[in-house]
Amino acid sequence: MSFRSGDRFTLLTVCTGNICRSPAAERLFAAAFTMEQITVASAGTHAMVGSPISPPMAALLDDVGAPTGGFSARLLTEDQIDGADVVLAMTREHRSFVVGMVPAAVKRTFTLREFARLTTRVSSAELDEAAGPDAGAARRLGALVPRAARHRAPVQPELDDVVDPYQRAEQVYEKSFGQILPAVRTIARAALRM
């Protein structure tokens, strides 16, 4: 299976400022896929370019052992979208923004929570058959994207969107992180056969 970005599978997460939600998802995915042929990156539709991960989100990442250092927010570009095998946006609005920039990305652009939900609809046996029984996480993710897309159906926005915690109370950061972490774990489990 050949991925859009070459030999490696590329996963891009997207939010607004690229300092809270998308970097949290990026760092959680990177921690899950450390030994895999998977490149993980993030960007913002209106990025606070050059900024680090916001301190409350960094603290939550630290609590689960995900690295936070060396991060610098960046603005979403068409090239990043073109190079991604899957784009996981934090809200439906971000998903629409991505598809507005690169319409051809529609079939590989989801919200994070949507993709996690759809992942549970694709059986491990189906992934084994599509990717090969001995396939690694990159090949399994490559097989998962089109199969997850087949299960798309309208749902309430609150089931798809990750709440924006920027400049809000610590409890809102915790709620946001509490939506991101299980979604990342669901996707990683499917890719890693856990």
**Whole-angstrom distance, CA of residue 107 vs CA of residue 148:** 10
Asked about 4 being catalytic, the answer comes back as no
Which residue type is seen at 149? A
Could you say which of 4, 8, 15, 152 is catalytic?
15
Q: Report the distance separating Cα 73 and Cα 5, nearest Å.
A: 22
69 touches 44 (CB < 8 A) = no
Q: Which of 20, 21, 108, 117 is catalytic?
A: 21
What are 44's strand-pairing partners? 15, 75
> Is there a contact between 66 and 27 (Cβ–Cβ < 8 Å)?
yes
- Annotation says 20 is catalytic: no
Which residue is associated with the tokens 């029984």?
A: 133
Geometric angle at alpha carbon 151, from 83 and 8, rounded to 5°? 25
Indicate which residues carry an active-site annotation.
15, 21
